[in-house]
Structure 1
Amino acid sequence: MPVSRRTLLAAAALAPLGARAARAEEPLIRRSIPSSGETLPAIGIGTSRRYEVAPTPEAVAPLKAAVETFVRLGGSVIDTAPSYGTAEDVLGVIFSETGLRDRVFLASKVDTRGRADTLAQFERSLKRLRTDRLDLVAVHNLIDTAENLAVLRDLKAQKKTRYVGVTVWRDGQLDDLEATMRRETLDFIQVNYAIDNRTAAERVLPLAADKGIAVMINVPFGRDRLFKAVQGKDLPPVAKEIGCASWPQFFLKYVLGNPAVTCPIPGMAKVSYVEDNVAAARGKLPDAAQRKQMEAFIDAV
């Protein structure tokens, strides 16, 4: 991540040691998958960009340490995709070296057209990830949605995946996402949502709650937009009220303050990022009034 993130984390390290230890002892917040009742820790790892490295020991080592720390701290959700370069290969190496596959809720995607190509892509993902099944497979960016969902439902019936869904990552896709949610039976959606980009909260998140669809949140930091906006600024008083020790926690607690959200999936390529982000899923979350204060602060920077 950019220097701004490192600077913000350095400031967070100045928080009293006792307070940080107390937060670490609190259990992770968990959210339900409505279609099954299964609960997940309310924080995950997204692997776009950060895990697109050569699958060599040197390049994989810091990512392996991040995943090990994530699972040790109680996390389980890891999201990837065939289109994320080498990310699936890198995760496969990590799972083979650590034996952590069975402790991870592993999600990937399909983005091809036609049944044969989609099945072939799914099988390649299994091979790259060194596993025989996935926990969630989603139609990436609503590509050939009806046909691909039919394929994924067949895979679910064969117990090669436990859940199916669809994904988007930009506001221009939200109308189509909403139409798909109304038309199809889905276990999950993945959508973009951040404190400075609240469009999804107007219709998509309420619809997900009404339809009983779990929600993963991508780009919760606005692809580093938010870090740049607050660099050099102190956390506002409301941050202390909800136990935030850093700006990343502030941004993630805002997202988790929406009860329709199941799990944000920020990129976490270093142990320090994992420790910081996972802490956002512990302790207090902002109520409606506090969320308004948080929005007002960010809108003004």
Structure 2
Amino acid sequence: MSADHSGNSGIPRRTFLGSIALSILANACNQELQADEGQSSSALTEDESLAIPRRKLGKTGVSVSMVGLGGWHASVPQLQVSESIRIIQSAIDRGINFLDNCWDYHDGEAERRMGLALRHGYRHRVFLMTKLDGRTRASAKGQLEQSLRRLRTDMIDLVQVHEVIRDSDPERAFKEGGIEALIEARQAGKIRFIGFTGHKDPSIHLKMLETADKYGFCFDTVQMPLNVMDAHFRSFEHHVLPVLLRKGIGVLGMKSTGNGVILQSGVVNAIECIHYAMNLPTSVVVTGCDSMAILDQAIRAARTFKPMSKAQVRELLARTRDAALTGRYEVFKTTEELDATTTHPWWLDTDCIKEDCSSL
């Protein structure tokens, strides 16, 4: 898909109208957030007594913290297990209730550490999400059972089909039974909601949604990159977000700083990146925290957020436009560096990972 030059003066009418609609919806979302919290966002300070604002997760009836904790960063190998647990529990104690994870993160270690952190009463305080790579019925079912064991729970709130990044992924997930396995698990009470995630191209997300419609299925959530660079290049914000809002699907924003790569552009800082994603009609912005300092930053961003004016948005997008147009700061779109299921294709049709299948 070619670069989306939506920042040009020659904006297509369809994109322009879509941007206006998104602005209206974002303002409504922010007004709803303020009403739910019973206070103006401008009154927020870094006082530890302040709760992190919450937003509605699509049509699920659940409210989630506007910032979520990413599972990959919280369990990077350089962290001791005790420090991972400290980061996760501190996030929960300070108001984050949305936890992200994935079956394949660090060969399952991310889920195991999160499971340890959720003991002693923490599990019931959070909305727990993980992702599965399996596209077939057998692989999705097997991976789910592994995730349940590692996370030390008999029910996961949200399970998402991970890395829908190939044009063939949508049909395969439905035709080969991966979605069917998740529906059966939901009926059995092992999961509550079903979603999907991907980071490559908005056209693939749209195809996944269209395929779901063909099979008579509706996702509860969709996770995708939403950041200041995405607004200019292969934009999930312009092409996918309006569809999710029309369908009432919960919007999970990720890669607000592009794993820090966006910050290397020198034109924007971390708080601006996170605030931009929060200013969109997202249910939650998932943020990777591999230290207490980065966790502090994410919480500060949530507590100091207030709706951005149209002028502020225009200024931020104008500042980031030139850096964004080639996609070099969104390497997850333009390279295979972060495509875990491309380098480990067997994850798509087996319930085994390295530690479970020594022959692989």
TM score, norm. by length of structure 1? 0.80
Q: Residue in 2 aligned with 1:42? A: 66
Q: Residue in 2 aligned with 1:196? A: 229
Q: 1:226: Cα distance to partner?
A: 2.0
8 Å Cα contact 1:257/1:287 also seen in 2: no
2:196 to 166, 177, 190: 166
8 Å Cα contact 1:112/1:121 also seen in 2: yes
Structure 1's unaligned 5+ residue stretches are 1-18, 236-246
Q: C-alpha deviations, 1:138-158, integer Å up to 9, x for none? A: 111234321222211221122
8 Å Cα contact 2:159/2:191 also seen in 1: yes
8 Å Cα contact 1:53/1:90 also seen in 2: no
What SS does structure 2 have at the residue aligned with 1:250? helix
Q: C-alpha deviations, 1:66-101, integer Å up to 9, x for none? A: 1122112111111111111221111122223x5311
Q: Residue in 2 aligned with 1:220? A: 256
Q: What is the root-mean-square deviation in Å for CA atoms of aligned residues?
A: 2.2
2:89 to 55, 65, 68: 68
Q: Residue in 2 aligned with 1:33? A: 57
What is the 5 A alignment of 1:1-301?
Answer: 22=46, 24-53=48-77, 59-85=80-106, 86-96=109-119, 98-142=120-164, 143=169, 144-146=172-174, 147-171=177-201, 174-182=202-210, 183=213, 184-198=217-231, 199-230=235-266, 247-259=269-281, 261-282=282-303, 283-299=305-321
Distance 1:26 1:48, change over 3 A: same
8 Å Cα contact 1:208/1:215 also seen in 2: yes
Distance 1:94 1:26, change over 3 A: closer
Q: Distance in 1 between matches of 2:246 and 2:93?
A: 34
Q: Residue in 1 aligned with 2:345? A: none
Q: Distance in 1 between matches of 2:46 and 2:67?
A: 19
Q: How many residues matched?
A: 262
Distance 1:264 1:21, change over 3 A: closer
Distance 1:20 1:88, change over 3 A: same
Q: 1:298: Cα distance to partner?
A: 2.6
Distance 1:207 1:21, change over 3 A: closer
Distance 1:189 1:63, change over 3 A: same
TM score, norm. by length of structure 2? 0.68
Q: Distance in 2 between matches of 1:25 and 1:229?
A: 35
8 Å Cα contact 1:192/1:217 also seen in 2: yes
What SS does structure 2 have at the residue aligned with 1:265? strand
Distance 1:196 1:113, change over 3 A: closer
8 Å Cα contact 1:65/1:270 also seen in 2: no
Q: C-alpha deviations, 1:113-142, integer Å up to 9, x for none? A: 321222111001111111111010011123
Percent of matched pairs sharing the same residue: 24
What SS does structure 2 have at the residue aligned with 1:217? strand
Distance 1:276 1:263, change over 3 A: same
Q: Distance in 2 between matches of 1:81 and 1:264?
A: 16
8 Å Cα contact 1:23/1:279 also seen in 2: no
